[in-house]
Amino acid sequence: MPATARRIAFVAPSGVLADGIAERAARFFAARGWQVQAGESCFAGDTRFAGPDELRLRELQGYATDRHVDVVLAARGGYGLSRLLDRLDFEPIRAAGRIVVGFSDFTAFNLAYLARAGGISFQGPSAADFAADEPDPFTVEQFFAALGNGEHAVRFDGEGPDCELRGTLWGGNLAMVAALAGTPYLPRVRGGILFLEDVNEPAYRVERMLYQLHHAGVLRRCRAVLLGAFAPVPPQPTDRGFDLTAVVARLRSLIAAPVIAGLPFGHVPRKLTLPVGARAHLRVRGGAATLAFAGHPTLPP
């Protein structure tokens, strides 16, 4: 294998993995000439977690500070990173400058890393996305483009008002963003572009979490809010027509910042790779949206 081969490490800091995910994802990257390491957490289990807290903590800290690794990729989400936040040492992670990518529950790391050390990491696909029989081509293309280019832009159909603005791109899973409100692990971003997604949350719970961010002053500081996928949104017997459309309308009535729906991101096969903490430029004209970002870690030449 060439000496210049990229090196990627899989780690599972949250939920236990289904059998075969690490192996199939490893084959995906190996076929592209990458060297692959998979932590013990990718094969361990401790109730719902991918091994004991100490194992998951040691591997995440270790790989994220290993200068022989180019990319650290969370194998899946689930729940578990909240148990590790107060023991992660974020300054050495920033000093090492590794590319760290995760999704869903990994939002806890992304936001804490930005809040505690000013570090930029990525919300994007997990190893499980690359373990699919046919990984989504858009997801694969965007992953390598975001990690390989110092400036990157994506176009999508955006439902919302025309606007053009710049700010810090940040966000992730709505439940995790809301859970970190009032803690030292939620960055105090002013004038940012907040992106949100979630899955399997009834409409009223989505609205309740948005109200939590509103009451905490988080939404007031945003220049724009981007909404990704939320499906499925389980209907409730007491909804009586209350749905996600009503939630979005309510959000727009609460804040002055533009709310743009349709971001290709979430618990869906087709998703962007987005740098949490990077500089971003959002432009929406007649339903055509462009999101550009720069200043994020990239792969060496």
Residues with active-site annotation:
104, 197, 267
CB atoms within 10 A of CB 109: 30
Instruction: For the chain, state the CA radius of gyration.
Output: 18
Quick check: bond before 13 cis, omega within 30?
A: no
